[in-house]
Structure 1
Amino acid sequence: MLKKTARKAIRKACSKWAPPPRMSIIEWADKYRWLAPEEAARPGKYRFDVTPHLTWPGNPLDAIDDPNVTEVVGRKSAQVAWTSGVMGNAIAKWIDIDPSPILVLFPKAESVKQYVGEKLEPMIEATPRLRKKVDLRSRRLQQRQDFKKFPGGFLKMVGSNSPASVKSTPVPRVAVEEPDDCNLNLRGQGDSIKLAKERLKTFRRSTIIIGGTPTIKGLSAIDAEMELSDKRLGMVPCHDCGKEHALSFDNLHCPDDLTYSHEVYGKKRPEHTYYACPHCGSSWDDNQKNGNLKHGRWVATAEFRGIAGFNLNELYATFYGSRFAVLMEKKLQAEYAAERGNIGPMIAFTNSSMGESYEYKSDAPKTDELEKRAEPYAEMTAPPGVLLITAGVDIQGDRLAVVIVGWGRGEESWRLYWNELQGNPKDPSDGVWRELDQLLATPILGAGNVRLAVSGASVDSSDGNTSDAVYTYVRDRQRYNILAIKGASIDSREREIYSKPPTSVDTTQDNTKAAKYGLRVNIVGTHKAKTLIDNRLRLTGSGPGRMHWYSEMRADYYEQLTNEVLAPHPRQPSKMVWQKKAGRRNEALDCEVYALHAARSLKTHLLRDSEWDQLEQQLMQPALFSSEEPVANVPRRAQQTRGTRSRVR
């Protein structure tokens, strides 16, 4: 009896301290995962037969297990089980038999609450092995709603709008949910997704899962991630011809019924919708499509460089709410609304059903068209018509981007310089600031051998990491019309490009950082400035508002100038705002905005012909007396309102 008890104790100890079983995510989920009523319409044992695309050869779950894969990307529609089937199964297996610290990034804190309440905690409660590992009782073992501790690791869930949460935790595993909704400018500290990726750097083996629905073409973060991947397509064979293809809404058809008429659907009957094989024309119904899905496979269409990418639209879903008839109803309703000026439903259908980003049609000139319009004048020389000069300076972490612009009658403008000064802008004593001084003080040869100087400059101070250095630089140069600026918020779209900073009534209450440096920050009406520049890019030839650039302009200028799109704000769809294209640089556009702001501070938009004549006379006078000092032309009305100086230091 004693021997039997001893053997039992030994077996129990061996079971407790035995290494975890080696199995894939698919094997673990198939054996141990359970679904709760809160997270699925069909609760009970987890079944992969309702999501066959998750078990095809080359599937995302096997990619997560693959040590050669560092990142798994899913560009997806709704109803394809990414959150539960991919991210959920991976997290569940890691908690149970492969524990480690895990960070999950959501668009905002409210999204964390929804995920925990609707998916994570129900999954833990429904799955016996997870219940043993994660104690959901509040305040026990440091458990919180956004932090779950388990043997060997923890699960931390954060909103993308919290810099401290995103930056604080080194982890070997990161998941990002809906990257297009995440904050891409985290309080001036950069892209929250890139900051989350930085958490992986200290680990030799790391994994990141990024899945989301695309939004606007050119702005979509998930599109940008997909471009770096091997772009796998789900190839599905036809039950008639046996040839395979990636499921596409181009093959979804609804024939006309001439005896039928509907206010929204017209002659279409969505209930008659069918899918046609692009190879043989065979018609598929929903059951046949679902049967064909069982025999699919993932095929890479680009070079594999550590990132596995998966394109998924709602045609790959087998759920009742994703039947052909339902999808056709959504499509016809979206088309009906778009024809009447409401593109919202079409954007939603393109994103959430087709799994694609919506492309706005624009008549704005392309980069190659702009480059062809370049003119044969040299850098740092002012063609005839330039009567005053301003500069725009954008501050980056390791450089200053600078545009110098010449202005003439009707705000016709000529680019005179575009380049970047390398250095450490965070340090006020760094040589890059002296280099900027030298650049802004460099004489620019104009028509009639007149030497012009920069009359004003606007310097970006919105980055909290470099604002001290900017304020230090601007403080001693305000008398030369050098201004510290910040862009207006999206709620200030009607703000003028230039407006004089208000003077505080009670200076003792002015505790801003800029005030401590003895200056006031100018708020730039960026929305109006970018809209004006966008309109002016369409103008050709010479005359008021026209924009010119020299033939030796750095090629990246044109791309950066056009790297923003006017589109609905991702979290406030009713507001059309200028947004940077994902993964692209836009310093040239920002510099143009700042140079325009500096010009508006000199009243260029208000000058009458007689005042432009006066500026021209001011330029000619030094030439008459052979003055060697370059002229920083300032309109008299600007001198009167701001007390500016007409010559550089």
Structure 2
Amino acid sequence: MLFRFPPSGSRRRSEEGRRSGGGFAEGRYARLRSEGIGHRERDARTDRGIRLDDHSERYREEPQVVTTDFSVSDFFSPSHPDGIVRSGDAAIRDLTSRLTEITDSVIRPRVRRTVTEFAEQEIVLKAENGEPIPGKYRQINNPVAKVPQDALGDPEVLEAVLIACAQGGKSRSLANFVASKIVDDPENIIVAYPVESTAKEKAKTDFFPMFKSVDSVRKRVFESATDKHDKTSLMQVRYPGGFLKFPTTASPSQTASTPSGCAIIDEYSRVEDTDEGDPRMALRARMSRFVFYKLIVASTLVGKNCRTMQAYKETDMSVPLLPCPKCGHEHKMTFANIDIGRHLVEKVDDKGNLIVDPETGEFELVPGDINPEDCTYRCPSCSYSMPDSVRYHALEGVLWKQTAPFFCCGRKHKPVVDGNFLGPWDEEGICVCPVCEKRPVGIKDKRGFRWSVLYTKTPLRQVIGVFKEAEKNPVKLQQFWNDWMAEEFEIEAKIAKTGVELLNRAEDYEQIYGPGVEVPEEVLGLFSTLDINSSYGLDFNLRGFGLGEESWGVHYEKILGDVEDWTKDGPWYRAEQLRRQLWHGIRDDEGLRVYRSLLMAVDINDYATVEHGKRYVYPRIGKGVIPIKGRAAGPLWNPTASLLGRHTDAHYPVGSIAGKTIIHGRLRITDDGPGKYHWPADEIDIEGNVVKSHGYGEGYMTELANLKSRPNHSHSNGSPDRFIPEVKSVRQEAWDTEIYILAAVKAYVASKGLRSIDDLKPTWRYLHEIEKEDAVEEKDLVDARRKRPVRVNPNPKKPDGPKPVPVQRDPRARGDRI
């Protein structure tokens, strides 16, 4: 029997082997050849079983090949310093231990790291990447995300759904999982987003900075490319064993052409159906051939019964439970358990007098304003108040428990009944059948996790501050419950389906504020816009804005006429009249308040009328008029914007999609307060005829109600155009003018260095003051004309006026050469 062992566990070559370039055997045979021993004598010695210790001392350095019969007394001992043969049980033990070591290193599977273990060992967060807590990754900074993060890498979990609050660690968990897959278990991975712009932004901000900062990932992604086909691009990352791709759910061909057993769909609530149906179901069908596939869905909630919530209800619906530090009661953290610091105060009437309760004779007490500094979290069992420091420490013991019903032993079991957590659960939070005391088959295949901002280390004063700001605004309130609390919430007041419903919201300003009032008392300033249309003329819209950008329509007019007509009968003369006109407000003891447009935004985007727009706007830049052009992408108004016109007409860009998003949300507001839109009602006589019209009729309201909010990913560049007209024949000038007016407000606020419209002082003036100033200005103008010196011609022989231009004659007329 032939054994080959290195002496003392060493595998180094001999000096002769290094010089000859050979291995162990080559080095030994080289020594034999150097001594004149041929191969026949060498083979004879080996066949006779000559031991190495029988020869000279120089052969004891590296004993390599030993032959032996199968007797127990002739086993080779690798632990012996001279590499000689030992006998007895010691030799058997040495051989057994050596074979066990080799078997363990080759056959026994390696220990699999969880995603959290990988992240804490490998990932280093850097401040330049926008990380709030730079340094080595520590799961203790966000303990609630540990179980969901480890479930992503669990081979038993085939599908997972993550519903997290904004900045709740969802994106970080996905990035950690992708990094662990690249290093520990490489395969093809898909990370899909609703639009291409979001995919590029996420790749730049979430994934590539981590790939470059983590050594183990960087070596595989950026340093392992062997040819040009292995190089990494922004939308596709290659590494040994697979690649990472960032497709869009709007393009089924991108995901269909990518074979992958691991897919992630982020921002799933904002995904729209394609020609193949739901992208999640289509990916599941393509991944069915993989035995252990991984399909992950993650998003924040949007409204009620969104896609992510429907997917969450198909899983085990795990929720985190916080154990009370005092009584140990495990409960789900809710907003109702927050002591928001609203203390009782005495109730007063409109005049500021205290109101006395007639039954008790004491002052009536009502809840006062919210004080975010006094906010604490209260245990629902023992009413123990936990400040932020105690709550942070208690979050380290959060337990995830399954809440979805399940079937086992022919019965349906409910782990949660009427809000009471009954169980039973095992150590992983998975339900156990109370009859057979075993896990139901396949119960761990689909896992779902949902947690709110209360489970993060966000101060409660910040949470209550956001709630206080959004309490009176339904749009912001829905965003608070969806993004911060991870709860289903949707505004009950939907946008009007027809223009008649919006028209019914019109208000009679004169009945509310007094006769002759055109501008309500709450208005801080007027802003206007002018939209040019080559087909019929101009659209003028004037709107007043108050605190919280609550706005009141003042006047809307379609100025009919030819835009090429610049006479007094043309539309431009009427537009200038409306811009300079004084609009009446309320009348107080000192006189009548009047307003004038502070800034007018003129759209010069129409190619057919751009020259006429520039003729009106450019001479008035700096005098209350600005040129603008609408574009789909970008913010509504950039505070640092300047006139763009190096290769085009000088203008300010306005983001139309951002403006539609803001206005569409504000049209849902029905209660008076920040963001609400008001319109004046027309005066109608007894016979039903319109006596005085402010322009906001049924046609205007129909244009507003015609634009619906629907996801639309038909654009090739992935533009999130979520607004399409319900009836394509209806025009959209009403939307254009409202967007441009809102942009004019943002532009004026930025030009004055204000934070918002709330910092603007009221711009109304008294009519008698303006009339007095106009009279003085007119008198000064007349006096200046009277005192103008008479021009005397110093050379009477030469006539006054410009020098006549000589007539250019054709040189060919008099025979000149050209």
TM-score computed with the length of structure 1 as normaliser: 0.50
Give the secondary structure class of the aligned counterpart of 1:159. coil
**Counterpart position of 2:119:** 29
* 1:143 to partner: Cα distance: 1.8
Q: Is 2:154 the counterpart of 1:66?
A: yes
Give the secondary structure class of the aligned counterpart of 1:123. helix
Aligned pair count? 360
Q: In structure 1, what residue type is equivalent to 2:464?
A: M
* 1:47 to partner: Cα distance: 0.4
* 1:235 to partner: Cα distance: 0.6
Change (3 A) 1:574 1:90: closer
CA–CA distance in structure 1, aligned partners of residues 445 and 311 of structure 2: 12
Q: Is 2:446 the counterpart of 1:358?
A: no
**Counterpart position of 2:463:** 327
Give the secondary structure class of the aligned counterpart of 2:342. coil
Q: Is 2:336 the counterpart of 1:250?
A: yes
Summarize deviations over 1:151-210 as a string: whole Å, max 9, x none: 11111111222221122212111111110112x222x33222222323312211101111
Q: In structure 2, what residue type is equivalent to 1:35?
A: L
CA–CA distance in structure 2, aligned partners of residues 128 and 142 of structure 1: 18
Q: How does 1:306-321 map to 2 (within 5 A)?
A: 306-318=445-457
Summarize deviations over 1:310-343 as a string: whole Å, max 9, x none: 111111111xxx210010011111112x2xxxx2
Q: Is 2:296 the counterpart of 1:157?
A: no
Change (3 A) 1:234 1:275: same
Q: In structure 2, what residue type is equivalent to 1:287?
A: S
- Given candidates 57, 77, 80, the residue that maps to 2:168 is 80
Give the secondary structure class of the aligned counterpart of 1:292. helix
Q: In structure 2, what residue type is equivalent to 1:96?
A: V
Q: Is 2:280 the counterpart of 1:193?
A: yes
Give ranges in structure 1 of 5+ residues lacking alignment. 364-490, 492-565, 580-592, 594-649
Q: In structure 2, what residue type is equivalent to 1:48?
A: Q
* 1:569 to partner: Cα distance: 4.1
**Counterpart position of 1:230:** 316
Q: In structure 2, what residue type is equivalent to 1:195?
A: A
Q: In structure 2, what residue type is equivalent to 1:249?
A: F
CA–CA distance in structure 1, aligned partners of residues 211 and 159 of structure 2: 25
**Counterpart position of 2:398:** 296
Q: In structure 2, what residue type is equivalent to 1:115?
A: K
TM-score computed with the length of structure 2 as normaliser: 0.40
Give the secondary structure class of the aligned counterpart of 1:294. helix
Q: Is 2:233 the counterpart of 1:144?
A: yes
User: Are the counterparts in 1 of residues 189 and 262 from structure 2 also a CA contact under 8 Å?
Assistant: yes
Q: Is 2:130 the counterpart of 1:44?
A: no
**Counterpart position of 1:276:** 378
Greater Rg by CA = 2
Give the secondary structure class of the aligned counterpart of 2:150. helix
**Counterpart position of 2:195:** 108
User: Are the counterparts in 2 of residues 215 and 356 from structure 1 also a CA contact under 8 Å?
Assistant: no
CA–CA distance in structure 2, aligned partners of residues 207 and 325 of structure 1: 39
**Counterpart position of 1:99:** 186
Give the secondary structure class of the aligned counterpart of 1:242. coil
Give the secondary structure class of the aligned counterpart of 1:61. helix
**Counterpart position of 1:285:** 387
CA–CA distance in structure 2, aligned partners of residues 16 and 161 of structure 1: 46
Q: In structure 2, what residue type is equivalent to 1:207?
A: K
Give the secondary structure class of the aligned counterpart of 1:311. strand
Change (3 A) 1:260 1:153: farther
Q: In structure 2, what residue type is equivalent to 1:164?
A: S
Change (3 A) 1:272 1:251: same
* 1:247 to partner: Cα distance: 1.1
Give ranges in structure 2 of 5+ residues lacking alignment. 1-5, 25-103, 348-366, 407-442, 495-631, 633-706, 713-718, 728-818
Change (3 A) 1:26 1:305: closer
Summarize deviations over 1:237-264 as a string: whole Å, max 9, x none: 1111111111111111223346799xxx
Q: Is 2:211 the counterpart of 1:211?
A: no
Summarize deviations over 1:364-385 as a string: whole Å, max 9, x none: xxxxxxxxxxxxxxxxxxxxxx
* 1:140 to partner: Cα distance: 6.2
Change (3 A) 1:201 1:119: same
CA–CA distance in structure 1, aligned partners of residues 174 and 203 of structure 2: 13
Q: In structure 2, what residue type is equivalent to 1:177?
A: D
Give the secondary structure class of the aligned counterpart of 1:279. coil
Summarize deviations over 1:507-555 as a string: whole Å, max 9, x none: xxxxxxxxxxxxxxxxxxxxxxxxxxxxxxxxxxxxxxxxxxxxxxxxx
**Counterpart position of 1:437:** none
- Given candidates 267, 272, 276, the residue that maps to 1:178 is 267
RMSD: 3.8
* 1:100 to partner: Cα distance: 0.6
CA–CA distance in structure 2, aligned partners of residues 23 and 573 of structure 1: 39
Give the secondary structure class of the aligned counterpart of 2:247. strand
**Counterpart position of 2:566:** none
User: Are the counterparts in 2 of residues 232 and 299 from structure 1 also a CA contact under 8 Å?
Assistant: yes
CA–CA distance in structure 2, aligned partners of residues 570 and 332 of structure 1: 30
Change (3 A) 1:150 1:52: same
Q: In structure 1, what residue type is equivalent to 2:375?
A: T
Give the secondary structure class of the aligned counterpart of 2:246. strand
What percent identity do the matched residue pairs reach?
26
Give the secondary structure class of the aligned counterpart of 2:377. strand
**Counterpart position of 2:307:** 221
Q: In structure 1, what residue type is equivalent to 2:112?
A: R
CA–CA distance in structure 2, aligned partners of residues 578 and 47 of structure 1: 49
Give the secondary structure class of the aligned counterpart of 2:382. coil
* 1:360 to partner: Cα distance: 3.9
CA–CA distance in structure 2, aligned partners of residues 353 and 567 of structure 1: 26
CA–CA distance in structure 2, aligned partners of residues 270 and 570 of structure 1: 37
Give the secondary structure class of the aligned counterpart of 2:131. coil
CA–CA distance in structure 1, aligned partners of residues 161 and 329 of structure 2: 27
Give the secondary structure class of the aligned counterpart of 1:42. coil
Give the secondary structure class of the aligned counterpart of 2:167. coil
User: Are the counterparts in 1 of residues 119 and 137 from structure 2 also a CA contact under 8 Å?
Assistant: yes
* 1:135 to partner: Cα distance: 0.9
Give the secondary structure class of the aligned counterpart of 2:319. strand
Q: Report which structure shows greater RCO (CA 8 Å, sep ≥6).
A: 1
**Counterpart position of 1:582:** none
- Given candidates 103, 117, 133, the residue that maps to 2:204 is 117
Q: In structure 1, what residue type is equivalent to 2:194?
A: P
User: Are the counterparts in 2 of residues 166 and 195 from structure 1 also a CA contact under 8 Å?
Assistant: no
Q: In structure 1, what residue type is equivalent to 2:116?
A: I
Q: In structure 2, what residue type is equivalent to 1:124?
A: F
**Counterpart position of 1:54:** 145
